[in-house]
Structure 1
């Protein structure tokens, strides 16, 4: 289908002479030539958003909520279009986009529209003075999103930002920019006023950098790598601009000897979802010694049955990695791990047969054994279909290994004991802990990372605490005419 590859600024399409090629990881083909923005386009988009903020921030919460519900309805009407485009763009499974990801995009918008009605704080008294708390719109919000679930992760921030009364300038990922453009069309058709939502496409150092450094941006949301977040944070600090960061992960899957092994194996195999390109994935499998051998055998047997291929095929379990450069990055991690003494017990390299046949960037599901805490493969985020398997003896040992990381985004625990589940969940350092489940997300719950996995919490009222200037007005009991 046709996707407009120009910027969306101030309610109209804007092109510029510079472009970049958008390559599909399914087959290595160029699927779009996209406008390549820079400082000029960023300045224009921020100016449009700043102008639009005056009117948008003064609309009532009920008006904003109704408009956003129309946007959500527009998304639902185009789920198939969005799913097809994003699968072609970033290589994620089409069935996942149809059944889960794109419906969640609509839910992201609708949830925060609905949540506005519950955004109240009871007045309270201080020595006869009345305290009244409000959430006031903050201003222009910059949203820089990643390529692994570009539209879903963008609307996780766009939803509350717009609902709060802010205006938005979004910089989509250059490896998967197309659904952001479709979202702009949908929002416009729903009646969102010009300048309230803007899209500037381009490379990180050319479009992202001037956006996060802009003095008229009042909130910055970034999802991506730790090194890039440091640069974003330095720019934000110069303008004292609040930031919300969702960064990397090196999450543990803790399997205790009282666990349901069928469940444990199911959860372990699920960590290959989206070819491992999931920040929340529990890539460090830590299994108690008493069940280690049985878990290992059953997990490897199941993982070996995963089907890799074109993500548009219903029977495929793993698609490609998002780009040639990311494919080479993942392969570099694997080669260095082998050179460092880690043992490959599954996969261990590219799917050469499939890559030759398709021209895509497919990497085999890979599992390492014989690793330790000093190795790069256990310390650094690979962001590919690469897991490590280690044993532990006691509960305390398992907790210590789980926490032996600079990251703290998530953790998954598998145990048959509620008492142990409570103890371990309390002791593990992570923003989200799943017990006998994985990837259960409620939009009203706080979400964010500890350590190098991020700054801040979003979800429910926590989102509005970030996107708004929370104000307390104190009224004296006397002095009225």
Structure 2
């Protein structure tokens, strides 16, 4: 959900060329994917200019592209249209022009079209799953059974919620107050690479349901399923310009999108530094922003917790190779149960299978990119140099990385200081730390849990309901899980405190963001007679 942002790649190493395809089409896992932008209901290539001509750009037939590689084995998947200021202007312009018609579309028709898009996604779950696994390296079984069905659910949930959106009228000295949600205008949605289509649909669904038009900029490391989604939406009957997809690097097309004065909402998932730049740019036009910026969440394990459950929760944090913003990467365990808990964790880690995410037996796949693996390994190496101990993992899976993939061993570090980099900064890889707190000292447990600049989520393992309520109430977090993890309902608010973000998504909170709320006050008297 909030990974570090990707940047333009250095000149790629020589690699086999992608399969021969029709112009502007790549075949990925047997599925044809159009590699151009989707703007105003048309496929648009990027013209090659001096601004996009570089060592990392392929130019062919006067088009600018960048190469998308698979994290599984490093093979090139496609040459993707590389957008810039021209494509940003065109996409926002298309969204601006389509906005009046879409905003005036009755809610029932908007909901029907969103359900039609959901039908299209549901019919192509297998295509979307195999393409996204190739593109971002997450487990194919997860894409088939959980992630892509969640895309369908996202669309249907907000379509249905639109029709139920209401606030009771209320009286003020005999005057009637009526609250309504007015579409705000074109929305720019900038999405990450760790769950590309699911997180995109989580933004697209409420934005479109609210009556806004959308410009989506997917992460440059994982652009493929966004392109397929554009085709699905078009086939479902979504009017031209209501959904636009522009590919490329943040510095080239993302900055141009958020600076456009016609944009009325910006939703971004990514890093804190990029969010600060977006906020500064958006401030010039007073554009509301929603930011989900990751975390450094704690898992608090109390002595009265079920030790098997607590160990399961800890190992679950290696899901998606640790590339989950909500992951409880800081394990805080009561001293008296530390050794027993650690033993259970190590037993479970030893049973994990790391390998090709397309294999049903694989539990941990690759990380997204060689540069990201280097970043993760840098955190671990610096922690080890500072005195940390790797009780499992601690480096690359050399057997797999030698084949060209980006595989990092599930890692658990002990002997770490509270003020150390590895405890304070988001690694966004399969790396956990373990610290202890004195027996019975809830105050110290809470202090350690809250002692970072983040505040996205927290997980508690305890057998005491009263303790769970006491401790949970004191934690700085947008979501607190007790004896569970990653249980999510779209009716609930999602977001973070402190450096973990601004705003909440989910339920009516999404409509509050994507709309301009209006209150109409009507006097009890003064109506002119009819006739």
**Which TM-score bucket, shorter chain as reference?**
over 0.9
| DSSP-derived class of the 1:254 partner | strand
Corresponding position of 2:158: 112
Trace 1:18-417 onto structure 2 (pairs within 5 A).
18-356=64-402, 358-393=403-438, 394-417=441-464
Question: Which of 18, 38, 53 lines up with 1:8 in the alignment?
Answer: 38
| DSSP-derived class of the 1:159 partner | helix
| DSSP-derived class of the 1:227 partner | helix
Q: Matched residues in 1 for 2:152 and 2:282: separation?
A: 30
Q: Matched residues in 2 for 1:123 and 1:234: separation?
A: 37
State the 1:474 CA deviation.
0.9
In the alignment, does 2:473 pair up with 1:443?
A: no
Corresponding position of 2:53: none
User: How many matched pairs?
Assistant: 480
Q: Matched residues in 1 for 2:384 and 2:434: separation?
A: 14
| DSSP-derived class of the 1:240 partner | coil
| DSSP-derived class of the 2:516 partner | strand
Q: Deviations over 1:360-395 (max 9, x none)?
A: 111111110000111100000000000000111111
State the 1:130 CA deviation.
1.1
Corresponding position of 2:527: 480
Q: Matched residues in 1 for 2:342 and 2:168: separation?
A: 54
Q: Matched residues in 1 for 2:344 and 2:40: separation?
A: 56
State the 1:126 CA deviation.
1.0
**TM-score, scaled to structure 2:** 0.90
State the 1:213 CA deviation.
1.2
State the 1:342 CA deviation.
1.0
Q: Matched residues in 1 for 2:520 and 2:422: separation?
A: 52
Q: Matched residues in 2 for 1:106 and 1:205: separation?
A: 31
Q: Deviations over 1:90-117 (max 9, x none)?
A: 0000000000000000111110000012
| DSSP-derived class of the 1:316 partner | coil
Q: Matched residues in 1 for 2:231 and 2:214: separation?
A: 15
| DSSP-derived class of the 1:21 partner | strand
| DSSP-derived class of the 1:477 partner | coil
Q: Deviations over 1:127-165 (max 9, x none)?
A: 121111000000000000000001100111100000000
Q: Matched residues in 2 for 1:301 and 1:9: separation?
A: 51
After TM superposition, the runs of 4+ consecutive aligned structure 1 residues lying more than 3 A away are none
Q: Matched residues in 1 for 2:197 and 2:211: separation?
A: 20
| DSSP-derived class of the 1:438 partner | coil
Q: Matched residues in 2 for 1:187 and 1:109: separation?
A: 11
Q: Matched residues in 1 for 2:446 and 2:186: separation?
A: 42
Q: Matched residues in 1 for 2:262 and 2:458: separation?
A: 37
Q: Matched residues in 1 for 2:380 and 2:300: separation?
A: 23
Gaps of 5+ in 2: 1-30, 47-62
Q: Matched residues in 1 for 2:401 and 2:387: separation?
A: 27
Corresponding position of 1:469: 516
Gaps of 5+ in 1: none
State the 1:479 CA deviation.
2.2
Indicate the larger mover: 299-308 or 283-292: 299-308
Q: Matched residues in 1 for 2:281 and 2:412: separation?
A: 39
Q: Deviations over 1:164-195 (max 9, x none)?
A: 00000000000000000000000000000000
| DSSP-derived class of the 2:117 partner | helix
| DSSP-derived class of the 1:458 partner | coil
State the 1:478 CA deviation.
2.0
Question: Which of 477, 481, 495 lines up with 1:434 in the alignment?
Answer: 481
| DSSP-derived class of the 2:274 partner | helix
Indicate the larger mover: 274-283 or 228-237: 228-237
| DSSP-derived class of the 1:2 partner | strand
**TM-score, scaled to structure 1:** 0.99
| DSSP-derived class of the 2:194 partner | coil
RMSD over aligned Cα, in angstroms? 0.6
